[in-house]
Chain A
C-alpha cells in the first residue's frame, strides 16, 4: 500500500488508463499543460501524453460535451471535463437530450463510452455557482451512471471502471477533498472497483447511516464520537455510486440495524436521500423500528459567508441529533 491524496489517486487513474488504451483522451477548458484543470487533477498528463490527448478547449461547455458524445459514438473513449458541476447547467441539453437518450432512441445501435468529470460540493466558500451537488438532479435522467467517491482508494478504482464502462458516466469529484489534500491508502498494484456497489466504511449494529461524498467523512467522525461517548454503534454505508444504486447493501444494513439515517449534502427536496428513503420505505418497511431520518442541506442555494455556509452544510452535530432521536 502507499499513501496518496484524493487528487493523486485521480491523476493515477487517468494516467494508467491513458497508457493502457490509446482511445482514451480528455477535453476541457484547462486540462492542458499549465493548469491540468482548475484544481490541477490532470496536471502532468499533457506533458506525458501530448496536447492531442489532453485537449485544451475554449470555454465552451456545450461544445465540449457535444464533441465528447460524437467522439464516443465513433469509437473513442473521451473524458469531458466540465470544471464545477454547477456548470453542467450549460451543456444540460447535451446530457439530458443527447448523451442519455441516443442509445435508447436509436434502438441500441450505438455505445457511448464517455465520462464527464466535474467538481462537486460545498465547503470552501465558493458560493452558489461553484458549490452545488448534482446527484439528485441527474439521477432522474435514465441512461447516466453517477459516481461520487469519498476516498482516494475509491476515486482511483471507480474512475478506472468509469473509463472502461461502455455507458455515459458522470464522475463527481468532491472539491473540498480534492483541494483539501485528503489522504488515504491505495494498493501499489492495479485495481478497479465495480460501479454500482456501495461500501460499508464502518460496521455497526444500532443504526445505519447512508452517506455520500464529503458526508461520508462527517458520518465516520460522528460515528466514532457516538460510540466513544454514548456507546451507540453506527454502521456507515458509503453509497459511492448513485446510479446504479446498490439497494441490496442498503437494505441488508437496515435489516441488521433496523434504523436508517441518510446524510446527503444536497437540499432535501428531490434528493438522493429522498430516493433512498422511498426505496427503504417501499422494500424494507417491516425492518424499520423507527422513522427514517434525512440529514440534508436546506432548500436554498449555497451561501457564501463562512457562518452561513457552515450552517448550510450538514455536519456531525446534525447527524448526531438525528441518530439520537431514533436510537
Chain B
C-alpha cells in the first residue's frame, strides 16, 4: 500500500478521535443536547472497512455513527453543525447525532434502532444488482444487533440472493450495559455465518490493517458477485453507551487491557517503524486536525438554527 493511502488512514482515525473527544467536551458543557454515543476506541474498524470500498459504494451506520460518517468522507463542520441542531448540518439539524446521512457520499444514514440497517442495506445492494452497477455495500452494526431478528432475516436474504454486502459486526464488548459474554453463547460472532453458508471472518478490530485486509477480501468477493461476508471486528468502546453512562459494569482491568491496544498509537508506531512516516509528520497531522475541529465548532456555533417553518418540511417528497 502506498504512503498516501496509509497516511490518509491515519488521518481519518485521528479525525474521528479528535472529533469525538471534542463532542464529548461540548456535550459536557451543555452545548449539545440529546443522546451522544461516542465511537472512540473503535476507529480502526470504520477506517479499515471504509478504506476498502469506493466513494460510490454505500454504507449504513449505527447510533454510534460519527466514526463511519467521517471514515466515508463526511465533513466535520457539517457534522458538528448537525449535532448543534443547526440548519447547516448534514440534515438541516433535523436528525442530530444518531441520524447523519449523506446520499452523495453513499451514507444511507446512521440509525437509532439497533440492527435496523441490516435489512435496509440489502435493498441498496439489490438495487445495485438490478441497476447493473458493481457497487458494494457495507453495513455496520454491533454485537447487540447480532441478536436481533433482522440479523437472521437480513443475512439469510442477502445470502440466497448473493447480494454484494459486507456485514460488519463491531464487537465492542457491550450492548448498552450487557457484556457480549452474557448475551451470546459463542466465542466469535462470525461463527454465525455458517448458518447462512457465507464466509465468516473474525479480526482484531483495533488493527486497522487487519480490518482493511479482511474487508478488502470481502469487498472483492462481493464485487465478483459471489455474495455477502460476515466480518467481525473485535474492538472496545472507551466511553459509555451514551454520554453520562458511568460504566460501572466494566471491570477496571479490562479497560486498562484495552487501552494498551489503542488503535491509533498502535498504527502510528507501525507507520514509524515501517519508515512510512516520521513522528513529526504524524504530529503535524494531529495538530492540523485539532485546528479543523476547532473550526468545525466555530462553524457550528456561528451557524443559524433552522426556521421553525422547517418543522413542516420534508415529511413528503
Query: Which chain A residues have a beta carbon within 8 Å of chain B's beta carbons?
Result: 25, 52, 57-58, 60, 62-63, 65-76, 78, 93-94, 97-98, 102-113, 142-143, 166-167
Q: Which of B113, B157, B315 is close to A103, meaning CB atoms less than 8 Å apart?
A: B315
Whether A110 lies near B120 (C-beta < 8 A) is no
Which residues of chain B are near A63, meaning CB under 8 Å?
119, 122, 150, 153-154, 156-157
Asked, given contacts A70-B122, A76-B131, A97-B116, whether A60 binds B315 with beta carbons under 8 Å apart, the answer is no
Residue of B whose beta carbon sits closest to that of A142: B315
Name the contact of A70 in the complex, choosing from B113, B125, B160, B313 (C-beta under 8 A): B125
Question: Which residues does chain B contribute within 8 Å of A65, judged by CB atoms?
Answer: 119
Complex CA–CA separation, A249 to B210 (angstroms): 64
Residues in B whose Cβ lies below 8 Å from that of A112: 317
In the bound complex, residues from chain A placing their C-beta under 8 Å from that of B92 are 107-108
Instruction: Quote the shortest CB–CB distance from B73 to chain A (angstroms).
Output: 15
Do the beta carbons of A67 and B99 come within 8 Å of each other?
no
A70 to B91, CA, bound (A): 18
Cα distance, A113 to B160, chains bound together (Å) = 25
Chain B residues with CB under 8 Å of A52's CB are 130
Partner of A67, one of B103, B123, B128: B123
Please tell me if B126 contacts chain A, counting CB pairs below 8 Å: yes
B124 within 8 Å of A by Cβ? yes
Contacts of A97 in B (CB 8 A): 112-113, 116
A165 shortest CB reach to chain B, Å: 8
- Chain B contacts of A167 at CB under 8 A? 316-317
Whole-angstrom CA separation of A30 from B20 in the bound complex? 47
Contact A93 B113, CB 8 Å, known A58-B157, A74-B124? yes
**Contact (Cβ within 8 A) B91 A106:** yes
Interface-centre pick from A62, A113, A167 (highest chain B CB count, 10 A): A62
- The residues of B that contact A57 with a CB separation of less than 8 Å are 157
Given contacts A57-B157, A66-B116, contact A107 B123 (CB under 8 A): no
| Contacts A66-B116, A67-B123, A73-B120 given; does A105 touch B95 at CB 8 Å | yes
Shortest Cβ distance from residue B68 to the other chain A in the assembled complex, whole angstroms: 15
Tell which of A57, A70, A104, A105 has the most Cβ of chain B within 10 Å.
Answer: A70
Contact present for A107 and B94 (CB under 8 Å): yes
Of B103, B113, B120, B160, the contact of A109 (CB 8 Å cutoff):
B103
Pick 8 A–B contacts, CB within 8 A, sort by A.
Answer: A58-B160, A60-B156, A63-B157, A66-B120, A70-B121, A103-B314, A107-B90, A110-B108
Pick from A66, A68, A75, A166: contact of B317, CB under 8 Å: A166
* B residues adjacent to A (C-beta < 8 A): 58, 60, 89-95, 99, 101-103, 108-109, 111-113, 116, 118-128, 130-131, 149-150, 153-154, 156-157, 160, 313-317
Shortest 9 CB-CB contacts between residues of A and residues of B: A70-B123, A66-B119, A107-B91, A108-B314, A107-B92, A166-B317, A63-B153, A71-B123, A60-B153
Assess whether A109 is in contact with B317, with CB atoms less than 8 Å apart. no
Q: How far is the CA of A158 from the CA of B258 in the complex (A)?
A: 58
Q: Give the distance to chain B from A120, nearest Cβ to Cβ, in Å.
A: 23
A167, chain B: closest CB distance, angstroms: 5
Q: Are B149 and A62 in contact (CB under 8 A)?
A: yes
Cross-chain contact A105 with B316 (CB below 8 angstroms)? no
Which residues on B sit within 8 Å (CB–CB) of A78? Answer: 123
Instruction: Select which of A66, A74, A111, A166 is within 8 A of B118 by beta carbon.
Output: A66
- The answer for the CA separation of A73 and B112 in the assembled complex, in Å, is 18
* Whole-angstrom distance between the Cβ of A248 and the nearest chain B Cβ: 18
Give min CB distance, A98 to chain B, whole Å: 6
Given known contacts A70-B122, A98-B116, A25 and B130 CB-to-CB distance under 8 angstroms: yes
Q: Could you say which residues of chain B place their CB within 8 Å of the CB of A109?
A: 91, 101-103
Q: Is the CB of A105 within 8 A of B157?
A: no
* Residue in A74, A104, A111, A142 whose CB lies within 8 Å of B123: A74
> What's the Cα separation between A97 and B316 when bound, in Å?
16
Given contacts A105-B91, A105-B95, contact A74 B127 (CB under 8 A): yes
